[in-house]
Every structure is written in C-alpha cells, then in structure tokens.
Amino acid sequence: MRWTLYVLLGLSSACQPTEFRACPNLQTDPTKQLYQDVVTELIEHGLDHAYLPEQQQQVLWQHLATVDHPVPTATDTAWHQEQEARFQNQLFQDTAHFQTFYLNTTYEKGPVLADLPAQLSTLPPSSRVAGLLRSFAALSQQAVADSLRHLQRRLQAADFQLCTATLRAAEPAPAFGHSPGRGTLSLSKVVFNARRDQALLAYGWTCGPRCGFGEVLWVEKTKGRWRIRQAEMTWIS
C-alpha cells in the first residue's frame, strides 16, 4: 500500500507543469522595484528567447520547424511553455551560462523607445496605442505620452539583480547601433496611476542595425509583483 502511494505521488508530481522560478526582488525603491520586475519579465518572456544559450534556443526553433501545420496547436503551445520553463529553471542563478544584455541610459536619437509622435493627436484614434492611453489616462494622454518619449537616465545596470541574465551599461552612441551581446534595452520614465498599483512605460530593444522593436507597456502590481498586463508594439525593424 505504501509503495502504491509513493508511485501515485511520483506520477502526480511528474504530471505537474514546470513553472518559471521567481527572481527575488530586493529593491527598496518602488520605481526600481517596477523596473526590476518588468525587465526580468521582458528578458524571460518577451525578447525572442535571447537570454537562453544557443543550444536551448535551437531546441525551441527546431520544434517549430518540424511541425506540419502553419498555426501552432494547443499541444505545441503547452510543449513550448513547459520547455521554456525547464530551460529557465536550469539557467536560474547559473551565472556561468548567462547571456549579456546592455542598458542604454544615454543615447536617445532614433526609435530607441516607443517612437511616439510629439503630438498625440496625430495618432489615429483607432490605433491600439491611442486606445491604451485613453484607457489609462483619459484626461492627461498628452502628458503621459510625453513621459513615455523620454529615456530613463537615472537607472544604472548595477541597479538590477537578475537571475537568468547579465545586464551591463551600454556603450555611448557610436557603438549603440551594433547592439553587442544579446541586445540593448532602453527604458522610458514610468507614469503611475493615483493608487500606484498600475503604470505605463515604454521600452525599446535593439539587437542589431536592423533588428529590434519598441512597445508601450501597461503594467500592474499583483501579489507584490509587477506584471505586464498589456503590450502594444509601436515599431519593428
């Protein structure tokens, strides 16, 4: 009876999906807490698996290349989610295998952030970004957009304690377009709501001279962690 119970418990645990390990956020400054959580989520979920070593990336890409249907099925999605979580668990705190990203805090020319227009009225009212800004700040959309167009210069790469990647300071403008390592992140200033449990920010990721994209993020604090609630792409190269 006891052995039967052990077997059943073993089978039950084996069937449990692997979950991403949460990186401790030790920041005491509320704004830096937000940046820490958001950058962690972007690196582990939003930048084309660039934080994974080449061999692990190949496993994911080869699986997509071998499926015989153009649209991923629920089974494909479940396999990828499980595999990504396993890879993240293996890489967690394994600094010898960390990939390096760079944080830009100086270079502001070109679409390094969300590339929003100076006058928000030039955005089509039907655009998803305009809709996001209306939903978040119905009475101060232009002021919010102005903040999202400005690079956050007060952050330093050393402010971040990541568990699956290394973040270093980006080189000045001449080297910026080359995006060494696994790419360069640029972050905008943060706009909080009145309760400071939701916020907007923009970011850009460049991974080469003609490689990258920018998004506006709506983030929300849930159970003590900042999570991306909505992301709207504004440029891609």
User: pLDDT 10s digit of each residue in the chain, 237 long?
Assistant: 444 433 333 444 455 778 999 999 999 999 999 999 999 999 999 998 999 999 999 998 888 778 766 777 888 888 989 999 999 999 999 999 999 999 999 887 767 788 888 888 888 888 999 999 999 988 799 999 999 999 999 999 999 999 999 999 998 654 545 667 899 999 999 999 999 999 999 999 998 888 899 999 999 999 999 999 999 999 998
- Residue 67's identity, in one-letter code, is V
For the chain, the straight-line distance linking the first and the last C-alpha, in angstroms and rounded, comes to: 61
**Residue 70 in tokens:** 């153009």
What are the strands, taking DSSP E only, across the chain?
99-104, 165-169, 184-187, 191-192, 198-208, 211-222, 225-236
In a domain, 39, yes or no: yes
Number of domains in the chain: 1
Would you say residue 198 lies in a domain? yes
Do the domain assignments include residue 206?
Answer: yes
Q: Which domain holds residue 104?
A: 29-51+98-236
Q: Distance of CA 128 to CAs 54, 123, 138, 214, Å? A: 34, 10, 14, 14
Rg value, the chain, Cα:
20
Give Cα separations from 227 to 40, 45, 198 (angstroms): 10, 11, 9
Please list, in sequence order, all residues whose beta carbon lies within 8 angstroms of the beta carbon of residue 66, skipping any fewer than 6 positions away. none
- Residue 59 resides in a domain: no
Are 47 and 183 within 8 A, CB to CB? Answer: yes
Is the overall model pTM greater than 0.75, yes or no?
yes
